[in-house]
Amino acid sequence: MSIRRGLHLHIFLLLAPIALLLLTGCTTRAASPGRLFVSDETELLRQLEVAKAAAPLVQRGARVVVLIVERGDNSGDDLTRRLTAINQGHSSHDRIPPDAIAIYVSYEPRYAELRAGKNWSNALTNDVLTDIRTRTLNSALRKDNVTNGVAETLRRFESALMWRDINNLITIAIIVIIVIVVILIIVGIVRSLLSGNIQWSSGSSDDTWSHSSSDDDSSWSSSSSRSSLWDSSSDDSRSWSSSSSDSSDSDRDSSSSGGSW
């Protein structure tokens, strides 16, 4: 009975952190919210609607930048200069800070660009930004409805990031299930071994015990040699893991999509 209680305790101690990790992933928000910066030279933007649409992104910790300019450029340099001026301390060599998301609309020339820092670029990829810009922002700008275009663009940003979170939770859930299955298999094996050892020891004689002890010694020696081989392969595994981590140290770059509207 004490052995069974000990096994149950170990199972609980293993599963409790996993369950806590899963619950934390379901409710994770940024420790400190981001902020919203809006600059509208045309005075056409209804900023309250934009702020409402940007609120979920700000809660994630994103620095959301919306720039509506009368005269800009179609190369992206004007957007980079403005982002550098807004985010003091941000290097002008970087196109956007890691935690920022930017919407840029120029009326002369008619040019729009979307950018996402590397904190968000795994969900807001170049292709995703291009789809949002061409299907959502540009169509609204052509209808002279910049507010709707910006607000809907922000909502699509949040939707893409939500799908990323869902995929992450699915991955965590799969890992939890695999770990639980492995633990249950191990517990079953241990319980069967323990019960087998108890039955075997109660029904054996001294001579049989002596004989099986020598067999156990030989099998232990054999298993020890196998263990040494495993340790060697573990060294190979560690060296492979080290080289793999070295090759993947670089962070994902920011993403962007720009073009005429």
In a domain, 178, yes or no: no
State the pLDDT confidence band at 24, using cuts at 50, 70 and 90.
low
Which domain range does residue 103 map to?
A: 35-159
Residue indicated by tokens 């939707």 = 159
Structural domains in the chain (count): 1
Using the structure block, give the residue that is written with the tokens 């939890």: 176
Q: What is the pLDDT of residue 71?
A: 94
Helical segments of 60-202, H only: 77-86, 126-132, 138-142, 146-202
How many angstroms from the chain centroid is the CA of residue 223? 41
State mean pLDDT over 6-14.
57
Residue 246 structure tokens: 């070295």
Give the model confidence (pLDDT) of 151-168 as tens digits: 999 999 999 999 777 877
Tell me if 114 is assigned to some domain. yes
Task: Check residues 54 and 91 and name the one with the higher pLDDT.
Answer: 54
User: Which whole number is the average pLDDT over 43-65?
Assistant: 95
User: CA 243, CA 25: separation in Å to the nearest integer?
Assistant: 30
Q: How many CB atoms lie within 10 A of CB 106?
A: 23
Question: In this structure, what CATH number is given to the domain that contains residue 67?
Answer: 3.10.310.50
In this structure, is residue 131 part of a structural domain? yes
Q: Is the pLDDT of residue 249 over 60?
A: no
| Percent share of the chain, pLDDT over 70 | 64
Cβ atoms of 254 and 96 closer than 8 Å: yes
204 domain-assigned: no
**25 inside domain:** no
pLDDT at 141: 96
In a domain, residue 132? The reply is yes
Residue 50 in any domain: the answer is yes
Asked if residue 53 belongs to a domain, the reply is: yes
Question: What one-character DSSP code corresponds to residue 101?
Answer: E
Q: Would you state the pLDDT for residue 203?
A: 55
